Every structure is written in structure tokens, then in C-alpha cells.
Amino acid sequence: MTVVLLAIAGLLAPRKQPPGTPVVRTETVFVPAPAPGPASVLAQVPAPQPAAPAPQPKKVYLFRDQPGPVSRSDDERAEGQRREIARLRAAVAQALERAEAALAAEKFDVAQAELDAIAANVRFHPTELSKEADEIRSVSNRLNDARLAAKTREMEAAMWQRKLTDIQQQIAIAHYPEAISLANGLIAEPQAPQSTVNSARELLQEARRRFAEIGQEVHMSDTRNVIRKPSSPPRN
């Protein structure tokens, strides 16, 4: 221990310099290097950039009978609904006019097609188009009645025509008394159409004329077949 201390003291003791040598003092100054702070570190390292968000698909809201994918508010949807109802009302009115015209002309299939086309659209709006639905039912009922009436007229016309045909057949086979009887009965029918009565009168005249011709032929034949007595010879 003592030896160590003496060695340290010898090192620390000033050394003798030759005479005339200037003494130079040296001082060592330790300046601590500045520690890197947060600001300097952040300045050197670039800040990470946030990743761009992936594009999201746009939501599409479709409104019936409206073009284009749009997102509508409640007011816009209500306005679109009102426009749709107004368009349907106008379409129903035009179709009813066409159906009425076809019904008046007894074009029943055309009228039915018009009613079926608009009824399919009105069915989706039973509350808003209740009045139009009632009008369609009214025209449809009248259409059914007109069909039935036309069918009845067709059947009645066929019946009257058969009666006229029976008279013609009796005339054709020379059964004139039968033809005259049938014609008189048809003319007396209270429900017979005027056109049928007129045709029956014409057939009656024809049957009478032919029957009269037969009577004349018979009379002439009887006259020709009369045997005349020969004249007695003259007396002397």
C-alpha cells in the first residue's frame, strides 16, 4: 500500500525542467457531447404515412319504375311515388276510353285486352287507385253483359233463320200447303224480328204462287181429259 502511494506521488510531482525552458501548462477540458433528443431523432426518421383507405362500393337504392341508381330521402321517395300514381291515373283514363270505344263497336276482345293491361298496374296500388279500380270493374261488368247480349242475339237470329229455312225446304219439295202454314205462323210471331217477318211474307207469296200454278195445271189437265159424246148421225 505504501509503495503504491509513493508511486502515485512521484507521478504527480512536478518534473524539473532545464533552466530557461518556458513552462507550458496544459489544461484538458472535457466537453460532453449533446445527447440526441427526441426532436433530432424525429427529424432524421421520416414519419410514416397513413395508408390510403380502400375504395368502398357505393350503395345502390332502386326505386320502382325510376331510372338510375340513386340514394333517395323520404321526401324524394314520396315525390316519386306521387309522380308514379299520377302517371298511372292518366294511363288508366286513356285505356278506359279505348275500352269504351271498342265496347261500343262490339270488339269485345280488344276491350278486354285494354282492361287486363291496366288492371295489372292498378292492382299494385289498391289504396291510391281505388277509384280507378272501381271504374275498371264497372266497364268489365258492362263488357260481360254486352258479350251475353250479343250471344243471345246470335242464338235468336239462328233460330229465326232455321224457321225460314224450313219454309224454303217445304217449297223446294212442292209441299206448298205446309209452306203456307209455316209462313203464316212465323208472320204471327210477336217476338219475330221485322226482317224475319218480311222474309216470311216473301216466302208465303212464293208458296201461294206455285200452289196456284199447280191448281191451274190440274184444272187444264182435267179439261183436256173430258170425253165428248159424238154427234148423232143425221136422220133420213
Query: If you average pLDDT over residues 120-130, what whole number do you get?
Result: 85
Is the predicted pLDDT of residue 38 greater than 60, yes or no?
Answer: no
Question: Most confidently modeled of 14-23, 64-73, 160-169?
Answer: 160-169
CB environment 102-138: b (16+ within 10 A), e (fewer): bbeeeeeeebbebbeebbebbeebeebbeebbebbee
Q: For the beta carbon of residue 86, count every other beta carbon within 10 angstroms.
A: 11
Q: Amino acid letter at 186?
A: L
Q: Which residue has the higher pLDDT, 118 or 53?
A: 118
**pLDDT tier at 55 (50, 70, 90 boundaries)?**
low
Crossing angle between the packed helical segments 74-104 and 130-172, to the nearest 10 degrees: 20
> For the segment 141-196, what is each residue's pLDDT rounded down to a tens digit?
999 999 999 999 999 999 999 999 999 999 999 999 999 999 999 999 999 999 99
Is the predicted pLDDT of residue 69 greater than 60, yes or no?
Answer: no
Whole-number average pLDDT of the chain: 76
Question: Is the C-alpha dihedral spanning 214, 215, 220, 224 positive or negative?
Answer: positive
- Beta bridge partners, 124, equal none
